[in-house]
Amino acid sequence: MCLCWPQRQHSNTWNSRRAAVISWLGWCGEHGYDGPAVPDWAKRLAVPDSETSARSKMAIDRLIARREVHLREKTLWRMLYETVARSDEILGVNIEEMDFAGRRCPVKAKGARTKARHRGQAREDFVLEPVYWDAGTARLLPRLLKGRPRGPVFVTYRTPGPGKVVSPRDLCPAPGPARLSYGQARALLDEHTAVRGPGKGWDLHEYRHSGLTHLGEQGASLLMLMAKSRHKKPENERRYFKPSPEAIAEVTSLLAPGDSRR
């Protein structure tokens, strides 16, 4: 068995494949099957710091406030920023699942645990996790939904073609438009932010990264950041927290002599 892997592959991918191979070899050994050993050079790779940009709060506010940006995009971007949820989690939310008074809703998180182990699980078969938004999203949501009681929160502006098979959960009632896809949402953000040509704009994940960074700069503890982002490991949280030079300068000032800060 060869464990060769191109250097350009992400370390997370390498580590996950390596863990899968080691798990399989362990199972073989427990059941009496002979198998190869993982060579010494195939070590776990260190996970590098995230290269995702952290946009300033002012830049995010200005983008959402632009007149040419449609209400759907304004609401999606504001909700991604305030919930610091992953894009596919928010795009997968339905209206009937939202707690408007509590400003929260359950999402199917990345790597969600299943309630029952069988094929073809529905969304209800997964353990869902709550995400929370604030006043900015709360002001935009009623305008976006316009009294719609059910169906996806974020939808396209046309009904699916006759040859496209769409899950009933991904359609608005009687009949209506379909759920906005990740690819469509990404293209819309790029359209409004790409100043150096198509494909050079912001990434949807930057809202999550920016929200966590700003919370960290405001003094949120590591445990609170983990609870907000729903990360299980502190090292994963560190990748999303890159304080600005201004924030580092401000915290450094706390080390100055007492009389120098008067």
CA triple 184-189-193, angle to 5 deg:
150
- The number of residues in the chain equals 262
Residues labelled as active-site residues:
86, 115, 205, 208, 231, 240
What type of residue sits at position 123?
A: R
Residues 6+ away with beta carbon under 8 Å from 44: 15, 18
Q: Which residue has the tokens 């909700």?
A: 79
Closest CA to 237 of 261, 258, 206, 216: 216
For residue 107, the tally of other CB atoms under 10 A from its CB is: 24
Closest CA to 133 of 141, 144, 124: 141
- 39: buried, middle or exposed (CB in 10 Å: 19+, 13-18, 0-12)? exposed
Full DSSP string of 77-92? HHHHHHH---HHHHHT
Question: How many whole angstroms from its chain centre is CA 164?
Answer: 27
Q: Which residue has the tokens 């009632």?
A: 173
- Residue 22 CA to residue 26 CA, distance in Å, equals 6
